[in-house]
Amino acid sequence: MQSHPMLNIAVKAARRAAGVITRASRNLDTLTVQSKQPNDLVSEVDRAAEATVIQTIKEAYPDHAILAEESGAIGESDYVWIIDPLDGTTNFLHGFPQYCVSIALQYKGQTTQAVIYDPNRNHLFTASRGAGAYLDSRRIRVSRKLQLSDALLSTGFPYRELSNLDNYLAMFKEFTLKSQGIRRPGSAALDLAYVAAGWIDGFWEMGLAPWDIAAGALMIQEAGGLVADFTGEEGYMTSGNVLAGTPRVFGQMLQVLQPLLPKPVDPDSFAAQLS
């Protein structure tokens, strides 16, 4: 496996956080859980795992900035670590073994290092810009699937912001009709890692946060796949709408999505209605 020093720190941080998570998984009934908003849960484990990641990074790079799910933005630097300490909190709290630690490093706005660690299967996904993507020490590539009709897709249902649910259900229907199947495992970061590994051929989801996306997006690109927002552009870190897949499946999914996107409000017609 590549041994970039910053990637090594990310791996060390992810493994330490996983230790916190795994210990807590044995005592789920005793955990303190709060609701940030409907269906968006945070546990003391999320916070403890995040503190472990930040401490590990700060020990090595005290001047680097942090963007983390629970702590928000800390500091200013050309180097920004983007951290999801426990992606799949709802799965974790139910004992459903599909969750991970996701850590990415951006330099001047470009993701350069990525780690996604699944403590249940001991899967360590890593990527460094220009150096490929790996599962443990084995190079990974996106699948060779060429047709959407042969593709296995994954997605996540909207849960924070439900105003887009009808649009999403229309997408879900079309992809159900046009693909070989859809899975909804419940951890967007792992879904993206699975696309990079070739286990899933395409992925789409709405309303994700930067820490859900950053690491997995680099992995897919380094594994030969494509990542974009629903318009095919690069704004997915801002919009939170992510489409990813093998090059051919990605293109076919993009065509399916285009007619189903929410229509932008025309300010002129809106003004005309008011006058």
- Mean pLDDT value across residues 15-26: 94
Would you say the pTM of this structure is higher than 0.85? yes
Tell me: the pLDDT tens digits for 130-175?
Answer: 999 999 999 999 999 999 999 999 999 876 667 778 889 999 999 9
- pLDDT over threshold 90, residue 38: no
- pLDDT over threshold 60, residue 92: yes
The second-level CATH assignment, the architecture, of 5-140 is: 2-Layer Sandwich (3.30)
- Please tell me whether residue 47 adopts helix, strand or coil conformation: helix
Q: If pLDDT is split at 50, 70 and 90, which confidence band does 266 have?
A: low
Give domain limits for the chain.
Answer: 5-140, 148-260
- Mean pLDDT value across residues 56-67: 98
Cα–Cα distance for residue pair 225/232, rounded to 1 Å: 13
Tell me: the pLDDT tens digits for 68-90?
Answer: 999 999 999 999 999 999 999 98
How distant, in Å, are the alpha carbons of 15, 104, 164, 253, 255 from that of 8?
A: 11, 12, 39, 35, 39
Q: Which residues pair with 182 in a beta bridge?
A: 153
R_g over Cα of the chain: 19
Residue position matching structure tokens 């706005």: 109
CATH for 148-260?
A: 3.40.190.80
Cα–Cα distance for residue pair 257/223, rounded to 1 Å: 23
Cα–Cα distance for residue pair 72/83, rounded to 1 Å: 9
Cα–Cα distance for residue pair 268/242, rounded to 1 Å: 29
